[in-house]
Structure 1
């Protein structure tokens, strides 16, 4: 099959010495570069109260990116729906669609994506019971964002129409995201496109995609299964440089998974000198084997084989290259370089996305 199109998943990483403003500026520059290179999508994740992540509010940041990009699709990867009122999400993304027509994706996740304290602050109920209402909330959002709106029947018996915007000309593209059977099965039953979080777990991808494809029911929006893959990627001019650039994010993930208090991301120089515990080093080695880390040719070939193996035409990469102490504080040169190198090596995918 042709080489895959490239997309980007961004958590707006914060490194040592950066303010939130610096980190956001670096991600704006990265999105502008992805747009100029012809990549297909740029999605922002939702995370809360983490010193190393500034993507706390995807709709707000997407509004900024809509004004700084020209053609790339912009979306959430994803909004954690149990944290929010469905009507608010529908209004936010319908407004983004009005600002950037035909360029907005709404990726929705089912997990709360945070600890119980943050969940209580985000939801006035102070619990995650809305996870159980997830299927109905997804359908509500889909209806509310449509130009015709959703119909409610009031206690009086009166029919009441609700719209996310007063005069919508189109709707954002709705995607379900997940890392388990649940979201794959729901996406299949609702006839929605689906993305499995391979970059997060790295296991079960083939089984989950088979489940989604085999159970898919055509809908008015989609007549066949549609999916792509996510991957953690560090590409550089040499393999040694790529391995070096991968260290800050790999070590950070190892600390997260071993319950170590988190800080902003280390620079590459600090990560090279770091001393990890044995369990942390084992995690680093395991994760690095699953990531795509190497020189441009090697990474591009492995991504193309990865896409072919799972029969997808798009790979959404999380560019995980770290920063050196000498890098500009408001840019992420190594992340930008990853995009540039892969765009040059996967020309068919880039042209297909333009």
Structure 2
């Protein structure tokens, strides 16, 4: 296979100290349009809750907006955290999205809560389950969603009678379903069910090679997928010179250090304040946080992306653009993230 991979985007819809939620959504809409024009393969939205620096709380709503604002790029979830939701609701949402944008919708499914325990309880009460029940039934729920989105639907047995259940009345196509994970659990399940799988390398410190090997070795072909399918996820900040890329990475490095050390999380800082905060961190912590990131000028960043794609034998790399913004940036724009995608796509073309 080619060592020049296709590129995709993972977006958390970050919220800076100079932005409202409306501004952050507008900036992500611009970023999705740029990715669409630049030939990126897919654009995925994460699911996180009750976090001041992240506006990606509801992937289906954002997917509908971004798919309507673009023309050809696949738009999807990276991912829907299934224990937070009733499986039928997820199936209905993505069946409608696929009907509205045929052949352009991905349903990435994860097992983690994506939030703190209190918010997790509020989400799960009356949804996918309460407490650990939804997590324990995760494999069953995944299979139910796949079946309910199928054109033929599924038969639900109640009181001795079989009732037809479909996510949408007359589907002509279905969204692609992916399993996401940061441990070997989802790798094993994706292999067993014959589904595509993605390891969250952009935030998981280690385990990528082992998870991919486990998935590929144990994969069972299914009606949905004949052979293993996966890609690589990376945090990246790219600028015309390496020094600027380092500066632009500071806000996300600060945010990750805040999470790692258990401090209260606020909005994402602007570059000028963030780089002062990062300069006060222990060098070992900073090195650990950025170990799996790609930060640099276009040529070096492209070389590293090619190397990683070859190392892990993937033909696609999903970029989470972690470049921040300088003081004075228009609130409804994220030029650092836009530049990261443009420069990387240009260097890899």
TM-score normalised by L of structure 1: 0.95
> What is aligned with 2:235?
232
CA contact (8 A) 1:112 1:128 kept: no
Q: Is 1:293 aligned with 2:295?
A: yes
Find the residue that maps to 1:343 and give its secondary structure. helix
What whole-Å deviation, never above 9, does each CA across 1:305-353 have from its counterpart, x for those lacking one?
A: 1000110000001000000112111000010011111111112xxxxxx
Q: Is 1:7 aligned with 2:11?
A: no
The residue correspondences of 1:139-218 to structure 2 (distance < 5 A) are 139-155=143-159, 157-218=160-221
CA contact (8 A) 2:250 2:278 kept: no
d(CA) in 2 for partners of 1:275, 1:57: 30
Q: 1:37 to 1:278 in 2, by over 3 A?
A: closer
d(CA) in 2 for partners of 1:75, 1:133: 23
Q: 1:278 to 1:26 in 2, by over 3 A?
A: closer
Q: 1:275 to 1:253 in 2, by over 3 A?
A: closer
d(CA) in 1 for partners of 2:170, 2:119: 35
d(CA) in 2 for partners of 1:62, 1:283: 35
CA contact (8 A) 1:187 1:216 kept: yes
What whole-Å deviation, never above 9, does each CA across 1:239-258 have from its counterpart, x for those lacking one?
A: 00000100010011001110
d(CA) in 2 for partners of 1:335, 1:277: 25
Task: State how many pairs are aligned.
Answer: 345
d(CA) in 1 for partners of 2:255, 2:41: 28
What whole-Å deviation, never above 9, does each CA across 1:41-90 have from its counterpart, x for those lacking one?
A: 00000000000000000000111011100000000000000000000000
Unaligned residue ranges in structure 2 (runs of 5+):
none
d(CA) in 2 for partners of 1:228, 1:275: 31
CA contact (8 A) 2:234 2:293 kept: yes
Shift of 1:278: 4.6
Calculate the aligned-residue CA RMSD, in Å.
1.1
d(CA) in 2 for partners of 1:272, 1:130: 41
Q: Is 1:246 aligned with 2:221?
A: no
- Partner residue of 1:132 out of 127, 136, 157: 136
Shift of 1:275: 6.0
Unaligned residue ranges in structure 1 (runs of 5+):
348-354
Q: Is 1:99 aligned with 2:97?
A: no
Shift of 1:113: 1.8
CA contact (8 A) 1:248 1:266 kept: yes
CA contact (8 A) 1:116 1:127 kept: no
